[in-house]
Amino acid sequence: MLSPHKLELTASCLNCKMRDEMIFCDLSTTSIQAFQRITFATAYAKDAVLFIEGQAPRGVFVLCKGKVRLSLCTVDGKRFVLRHCQPGEVLGLSATVSGKAYEFTAETIEPCQINFVKRADFIHFLKDHADACFKASEQLGDSTWENLEFHGNREK
């Protein structure tokens, strides 16, 4: 089905053609079915803000289609782009797991399909599904400050 943003929406994670290629979505059938029961699939327009740095974590946003920009606000009020996220990434994962505020601002840079999962539901899901917990840990390991793809020059 097409969203108002002319984005082809995937109704079921089990039927997603990109499932095996995505970081978080390559889970067992049992885990995918359980995950789908706790998600809220939504189409977002370009320039939609998912969450803002400093905001208390409401949950995670699994990027299914489109691209999202992660940025920080500098002390002089300018936005500093950290990187662009690809489908399959779980946005707000660190904050949701730790209970600390979101560290970045996440904003769509094109129409996106995103599955939102409330924090309590996601924590419970991770406890019950080891394969999902492993994938979340894998993504957390890949999203440290040192692994962020900075745009522009960066001194080592």
5-22 pLDDT, tens digit per residue, is 566 766 666 666 666 666
Residue 94 contacts residue 143 (beta carbons within 8 Å): yes
Q: How many other CB atoms are there within 10 angstroms of residue 57's CB atom?
A: 20
Please determine, for residue 23, whether its predicted confidence score (pLDDT) is greater than 80.
no
Q: What CA–CA distances, in Å, run from 40 to 35, 78, 94, 115, 128?
A: 10, 32, 20, 5, 19
Residue 39 contacts residue 48 (beta carbons within 8 Å): no
29-75 pLDDT, tens digit per residue, is 899 899 989 999 889 999 999 999 999 999 999 998 899 999 998 88
Q: Where are the domains of the chain?
A: 1-7+40-138
What stretches of 11-154 show up as alpha helix (H) in DSSP?
29-38, 93-98, 119-128, 130-142
CATH value of 1-7+40-138 in 3.90.180.10, 2.60.120.10, 3.30.499.10, 3.40.50.720: 2.60.120.10
What stretches of 17-129 show up as alpha helix (H) in DSSP?
29-38, 93-98, 119-128
60-71 pLDDT, tens digit per residue, is 999 988 999 999
Mean pLDDT value across the chain: 82
pTM: predicted TM-score of the whole model, two decimal places: 0.81
Question: In terms of pLDDT, which residue wins out, 152 or 74?
Answer: 74
